[in-house]
Amino acid sequence: MAQDWTIQQLLSWTTRYFQDRGIAAARLEAEILLAYVLSQDRVFLYTHFDAPVNQDEREKFRAVIRRRVRREPLAYIIGQREFMSLSFLVSPEVLIPRPETELLVENAISWCGDRDLCICDMGTGSGAIAVSLAYYLPAGRFVAVDISSTALDIARRNAERHGVNVEFYCSDLLNDLDHQREFDLITANLPYIPQEEYLSLPEDVRGFEPRLALLAGGDGLDVYRRFLPQAMERLKTGGCLMLEIGAKQGNAALNLTRGFGVSRLAADLAGRDRLLILRKE
């Protein structure tokens, strides 16, 4: 690299470097990483294109570039990810929130309206679903559950970050919750990726994100087979269960719900089955 580098020069060089190594959103990621290193937002980069970047900052930038080309997810490098227009802290202990999961939150918000409801989020991870619901549904009461105590630590920090009240519990599904507690709505984004599909996931995912939050046995629905009877037992009459599923699991997921209530599927923006919605009669 040259002796003196401006923001524009660093972005141009890094974009080409990322493109050569197969990183799809090369320019965007270069901007996000440089803004992170400089403790600025991306607007600053565009308004200070000619500003020099000192040696210490360039060394930090090189370090994060090396991490990214080793396929470490961008969200883990910068320590956060946007979801539902909110910024969530993330680490390798939690799954990175995905845009497709916003479908679940949007449906939950629509179903709840402004009612005072008790809502449980199972497998909360970073708390993205529970915290988003608590943020956009101020009349509700919220419980979030995860089997990982380290994940719950991050979820608690995200609740504090956005000023919402959520009760957090460490439990294997609903086993350790008070059996007297009932809910109007239960949401869950539990592991649903079968072994064969897991082995074909991109290195960004398979090599870095927690296996516990991704991989499920059999056809990928084994965890939901365990969870569904528990959830329906805790749902109030007229209550609703919303489960994120894989794009090819729609029919199999519907079959799981026979005898439990009225169910339907909701598709994501790409037209793929993504959400199972079940109402208890």
Residue type, 178: D
Which pLDDT tens digit goes with each residue over 81-98? Answer: 999 999 999 999 999 999
Residue range 91-279 forms a domain whose CATH class is alpha beta
| 3-class secondary-structure state, position 270 | coil
Which pLDDT does position 179 carry in this prediction? Answer: 83
Whether residue 213 is predicted with pLDDT greater than 80 in this model: the reply is yes
Which pLDDT does position 9 carry in this prediction? Answer: 95
Which pLDDT does position 39 carry in this prediction? Answer: 96
pLDDT-derived band at 41 (thresholds 50, 70, 90) equals very high
C-alpha torsion 65→66→69→74, nearest 10? -50
Mean pLDDT of the chain, nearest integer: 95
What DSSP string runs through 43-60? HHHHHTTT-B--HHHHHH
Which pLDDT does position 261 carry in this prediction? Answer: 85
Which pLDDT does position 135 carry in this prediction? Answer: 98
Rounded to an integer, the average pLDDT of 171-193 is 94
Rounded to whole angstroms, what are the CA distances from 63 to 18, 55, 57? 14, 12, 10
pLDDT-derived band at 234 (thresholds 50, 70, 90) equals very high
Q: Tokens 């988003």 correspond to what residue?
A: 132
Which pLDDT does position 1 carry in this prediction? Answer: 45
Dihedral pair phi/psi, residue 262, rounded to 5°:
-95, 125
Rounded to an integer, the average pLDDT of 107-121 is 97
Whether residue 34 is predicted with pLDDT greater than 70 in this model: the reply is yes
Which pLDDT does position 3 carry in this prediction? Answer: 62
Q: Could you tell me the pTM of the whole model?
A: 0.93
**Higher-confidence position of 103 and 180:** 103
Residues 7/49, Cβ–Cβ less than 8 Å:
yes
